[in-house]
Amino acid sequence: MNSNIENLVKISIVGHPAVGKTTILKLLSQNSLNNQKYLPTQGFDLKTVKLGNFKLNVWDFGGQKAYLKTYLADYLLGSDIIFIVTDSTPRNVLTSKELIAHSNKIIGNECPIIAIANKQDLVKTDGRLSADRVENVLQVKTHGLTAIKSSERSKMMDIIKGELNQVVIRRTLAESEI
């Protein structure tokens, strides 16, 4: 792939408030996490991350109800990969399931929805669900993560790398249909 456009990938991170979306954005785009204080994202944040030949535009969308209700369709439009983040509490996993159903209606089969079962460091201490159990409930591919640990960066990058192969295949197929 030579052209810049072909190497540009839109990754959308969505989920309810305080599940760790901005922390994942920082994990991908910064060397270290300097502040773990919760500051709700107003609107959205966007960072560009290089991965091999790819330029990833990673969109971190504020999870407050007003945003999701009004802008979810706009957020998701043109995504190549959608990550739905949950904090792995049973209640949040259930509301994330609704968000997945809603997102599916918006984007159809256009792009994969992958779940991130975040805050896995808290599974043993306060009854959060393991990634396998989250996957059973959500019925979409699910990866466990502890986004506050900078050592998890390579795991998150590998998850994206795995999905990029599919992005390339889908684009090639779409081109051959034109």
Ligand X SMILES: Nc1nc2c(ncn2[C@@H]2O[C@H](COP(=O)(O)OP(=O)(O)OP(=O)(O)O)[C@@H](O)[C@H]2O)c(=O)[nH]1
Task: From the list ligand X, Mg ion, none, pick the one residue 20 interacts with, judged by a Cβ distance below 5 to 8 Å according to partner type.
Answer: ligand X
Question: Judged by CB, which is closer to Mg ion: 48, or 136?
Answer: 48
Helices 90-107 and 65-76, axial angle in degrees (round to 10) = 40
Binding partner of 121, given Mg ion, ligand X, none, CB within 5-8 angstroms per partner class: ligand X
Sign of CA dihedral 26, 14, 161, 159: positive
CA 15 to chain centre: 8
Is residue 122 a contact residue for ligand X (CB under 6 A)? yes
Of 46-54, 75-83, 141-149, 162-170, which segment contacts ligand X by CB under 6 A? Answer: 141-149
Can you tell me which of 7, 18, 29, 123 binds ligand X, judged by CB under 6 A? 18
Instruction: Kindly state whether residue 146 participates in binding ligand X, applying the rule CB under 6 A.
Output: yes
144 near ligand X, rule: CB under 6 A: no
Q: Which of residues 15-54 bind Mg ion (CB under 5 A)?
A: 21-22, 41
CA separation for the pair 103, 115 (Å, rounded):
12
Is 151 a residue that touches ligand X (CB under 6 A)?
no
Give φ, ψ of 47 to 5 degrees: -130, 150
Contact 59, 13 (CB under 8 A): yes
**Minimal distance in Å, beta carbon 33 to Mg ion?**
13
CA dist., res. 152 & res. 147, Å (int):
7
Does residue 38 bind ligand X (CB under 6 A)?
Answer: yes
**Distance of alpha carbon 121 from alpha carbon 137, whole angstroms:** 20
Q: Which of 39, 48, 38 is nearest to 8 (CA)?
A: 48
Shortest spacing between CB 119 and Mg ion, in angstroms: 14
Least distance from C-beta 31 to Mg ion, angstroms? Answer: 19
In sequence order, the β-bridge partners of residue 144 are 117
Q: Which residues bind Mg ion (CB under 5 A)?
A: 21-22, 41
Q: Which residues bind ligand X (CB under 6 A)?
A: 15, 17-23, 36, 38, 40-41, 62-63, 118-119, 121-122, 146-148
